[in-house]
């Protein structure tokens, strides 16, 4: 992978590293603690349910948490599997750039090694991110038990420059119907959240800004969704990104 990433350069930290998550271990209004800690339920101002099981929580991450996540993602983007434009089976590449942790996703399966990139085993899914996922689910669903029962084991980390898009698709390679937790950092995007039957209407367009949380599970887990537009220059560089948009989706693969 040799492509420079506008707005995502100046990678920090050693290859494959992730920070201990000092800010990420703190409450973001959603409780605290790591993997073993119970996910407490906090108050989420602006929380909005788009459909049953699909919840948007604006401004869920603090700026400090966003910066830590950006630093962690920069480390993962360097390796052991570098971030890349995913190649599609019928030719062509995705405009978004992706790196995975825990499990490697390529269309349309999960593997431990990135056989379509460099054959390396992907970085481990860190404990602190499990805790973050638990707090996200608890907060979005206002249900501590839902958070406690959530153990994500993979994340797709997508970087969008101003031109990148993501077509309407379902996340359906997982053998689990546990929720998907989506965190957005940097430029605002239009996130299109549809229905479970077709990639066309009806759908709802929602703006996902830096720090926003979006969780989709339950009856919405297999809804079509996509990113038709990113708004270049809309992000605050204090989030750690000079430009572009970073999105992290945590999932439970259900694979052993
Ligand atoms: O970037 C986003 O907000 C959505 C990402 C997504 O749909 C995916 O990774 O499957």
Mean pLDDT for 196-222 is 98
User: Token pair of 35, please?
Assistant: 């993997």
**Domain limits, the chain:** 48-251
Q: CA angle 189-135-12, nearest 5°? A: 60
- Residue nearest to ligand 1 atom 7, measured at CA: 226
Residue 73 three-state SS: helix
> 178 CA distance to ligand 1 centroid (A)?
16
Whether 188 is in the pocket of ligand 1, judged by its Cβ within 6 Å, is no
What is the reported pLDDT for 68? 96
What confidence tens digit (pLDDT) does each residue in 45-57 have? 899 999 999 999 9
Whether 182 is in the pocket of ligand 1, judged by its Cβ within 6 Å, is yes
The answer on pLDDT for 117 being more than 70 is yes
43 is in an annotated binding site: no
What confidence tens digit (pLDDT) does each residue in 164-188 have? 999 999 999 999 999 999 999 999 9
The answer on pLDDT for 13 being more than 60 is no
Residues β-bridged to residue 56: 48, 214
Q: CA angle 208-218-229, nearest 5°? A: 20
Burial status of residue 46 (CB atoms within 10 A of its CB: 0-12, 13-18, 19 or more): exposed
Over 147-171, what HEC string results? HHCCCCCEEEEEEECCCCCEEEECC
CATH superfamily of 48-251: Alpha-ketoglutarate-dependent dioxygenase AlkB-like (2.60.120.590)
Mean pLDDT for 86-90 is 95
What is the reported pLDDT for 38? 56
Rounded-to-integer distance, Cα 153 and Cα 191, Å: 24
Confidence band of 40 (pLDDT split at 50, 70, 90): low
């Amino acid at each position: 992978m040799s492509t420079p990433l506008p707005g995502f350069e100046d990678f920090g930290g050693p290859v494959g590293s992730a920070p201990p998550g000092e800010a990420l271990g703190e409450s973001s209004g959603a409780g605290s603690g790591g993997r073993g800690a119970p996910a407490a339920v906090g108050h989420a101002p602006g929380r909005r349910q788009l459909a049953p099981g699909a919840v948007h929580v604006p401004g869920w991450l603090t700026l400090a948490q966003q910066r830590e996540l950006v630093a962690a993602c920069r480390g993962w983007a360097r390796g052991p599997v570098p971030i890349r434009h995913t190649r599609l089976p019928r030719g062509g590449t995705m405009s978004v750039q992706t790196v995975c942790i825990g499990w490697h996703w390529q269309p349309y399966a999960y593997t431990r090694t990135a056989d379509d990139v460099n054959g390396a085993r992907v970085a481990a899914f860190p404990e602190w991110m499990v805790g973050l996922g638990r707090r996200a689910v608890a907060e979005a669903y206002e249900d501590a038990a839902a958070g406690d029962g959530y153990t994500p084991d993979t994340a797709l980390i997508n970087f969008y420059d101003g031109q990148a898009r993501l077509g309407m698709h379902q996340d359906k390679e997982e053998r689990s119907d546990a929720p998907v937790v989506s965190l957005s950092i940097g430029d605002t995007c239009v996130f299109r959240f549809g229905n479970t039957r077709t990639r066309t209407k009806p759908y709802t367009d929602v703006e996902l800004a830096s720090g926003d949380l979006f969780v989709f599970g339950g009856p919405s887990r297999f809804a079509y969704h996509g990113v038709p537009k990113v708004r270049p220059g809309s992000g605050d560089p204090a989030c750690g990104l000079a430009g572009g948009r970073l999105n992290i989706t945590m999932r439970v693969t259900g694979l052993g």
